[in-house]
Structure 1
């Protein structure tokens, strides 16, 4: 993207429609590849605690004085993209029913399959009898709470109890509930007529102040980052989209790793850099993910696959052995999830609704 390229033309490029019949397209943006890399970063990051336990420190944790680690930054990237695209979706098509259906069709089908398959796989390796396992309170709560997105349950009875990280069957699911609640927040602001520049800035500022002065809450940080992405979209026609500014933003973030301000700065500066990279046509890698968006499947299947690897490797498990052994399996599962679950749901939703975000298959994680 040229430094003098108009923001409006950039946004038009960022929202180009792909081939609705096959979803195998080459859009001129980098949203899918950024999500793919973020999902991969989560997998790399999770390999450390899954292999060694929760007390192990990852390299970036040491470097940043415990501010963050690779997986946490990846989640912030997801939320910045999500804030941008979800706000774009509602603003462009402010129909509450269509908006809600689009969100449900995109996130719920894949979640149903991973939850059901998790419970079934758990039944094969649990120390409980089949009857005790399936009717156990934890199994019921794991299924209902995770599927309803009202919260997160991590454990299945008698499963992974001796693994270093403990009996956490799928630690990645924690971010889905707050993300879906933010979808509802956008819907609510849209319905009451307050999905505008100044309301979104006010919510962002409140979340940042809460994080800085009341409690370093992960929920507040996710809210601020999501709203940072929303701010970028709502102010896109007044933002200077320059490569030099994006590079300066990344440099400031790198320097802030040695201070205590990285997370707060990421909510807006990181959001700008993320969206710049996503919409930039100067360097476009859309061809990498032209045949499908694997990021969601990678994200939701990676943790249980890595836990299974540790279960069978035992004391021989290292972060790199867990990563290298699990990654091919994760990619295969993600491919099946995209082609036979997510894409099927998207196609069905397109017969029911008309949503530019879904038609271009630009999904938030």
Structure 2
């Protein structure tokens, strides 16, 4: 096990962010083929589950270190909103007129243009009028933003558990897990889409389960039990149950276990990544519009040429976002004894 300051969290988040980029490539590019899956879990879903598992673990530790609702929310909002505000405004002001079918005047007159700003309030809006209308995956500006309100909802759930259960947080988390598991199986058997605040409510349970299990690992201090032999055992179980209910239940255990078992170790690369900064959020929120833009201007590029170009451009924007926006915003976090 390692010290809290030298670990693989930044590295794993970065790998997950690039995995989402790669997964989206199979939908956004022409003649991309079929993306790799792991049983019933797609690469994109796996990456998001890793994000939620890590988030549940770390955010719970942050709450325990300073269970003050105001300071807790300030820290979470300062991590999410500044960079999100920039990518939303750049998409609206720069990207929209550049790659849209409307004239600049008509674009800015269109009321739909300005509804895109709802994204700053974590209300997902995916379209700008006329933008990417002729792309292979038409009209979607930033398909990655759906997960942000789900993530923030889990932050609020953690507050609720913390306030209601207080000294019995562990069992509050277990109770919440039971509710989310019930909601998951209920939603699987329910047809239709249920939208609230721009979010498909069916997305909350399958992602929230990983957040809660990550928090449970932290609450019960189970990270000390995350071993390499245990990782191999869990992988072996997954190999023999690649589909169905048993596989789904095993992923709830396996993904948080494997993610945190790796994240809590250190390596020479983790030290280098930590010294550079946490670029994963920037990669996550910039990748989709970058991919759509390269498809717009270079629709005939080979698949892997697209991927490489998009990784380079997205990484550049993520680096700029971290050093000029995100890192500076985090300086305003309320003081506490916890580094998150």
* TM-score (structure 2 length as normaliser): 0.89
Tell me which residue corresponds to 2:197: none
Q: How does 1:344-363 map to 2 (within 5 A)?
A: 344-349=328-333, 352-354=334-336, 356-358=338-340
> Is the aligned partner of 1:218 residue 2:218?
no
**Take 1:109 and 1:293, find their aligned partners in 2: how far apart are those partners?**
15
Q: How does 1:131-146 map to 2 (within 5 A)?
A: 131-144=105-118, 146=119
- In the TM superposition, what is the alpha-carbon distance from 1:355 to its structure 2 partner? 5.6
Q: Deviations over 1:204-258 (max 9, x none)?
A: 1222233234427332101111111111111115862322112222332344334
Q: Which runs of 5+ in 2 are unaligned?
A: 190-201
> Is the aligned partner of 1:50 residue 2:28?
yes
Q: Secondary structure at the match of 1:84?
A: helix
- For residue 328 of structure 1, the aligned residue among 312, 321, 326 is 312
- Please, what is the CA RMSD of the aligned residues? 2.1
Tell me which residue corresponds to 2:98: 124
Tell me which residue corresponds to 1:230: 215
* TM-score (structure 1 length as normaliser): 0.83
**Take 1:295 and 1:214, find their aligned partners in 2: how far apart are those partners?**
30
Q: Deviations over 1:114-164 (max 9, x none)?
A: 0000112112221112232223232222112x1111x31101100001111
Tell me which residue corresponds to 2:55: 82
Q: 1:209 to 1:284 in 2, by over 3 A?
A: farther
**Take 2:110 and 2:239, find their aligned partners in 1: how far apart are those partners?**
47
Q: Deviations over 1:44-86 (max 9, x none)?
A: 11111010389x63232xx63xx22111100000000001111
- For residue 182 of structure 1, the aligned residue among 120, 132, 154 is 154
> Is the aligned partner of 1:94 residue 2:67?
yes
Q: Say how many residue pairs are matched.
A: 325
> Is the aligned partner of 1:319 residue 2:303?
yes
Q: Which runs of 5+ in 1 are unaligned?
A: 2-9, 15-26, 359-365
Q: 1:206 to 1:57 in 2, by over 3 A?
A: farther
**Take 2:71 and 2:88, find their aligned partners in 1: how far apart are those partners?**
26
Residue pair 2:101, 2:133 contacting (<8 A) in 1 also: no
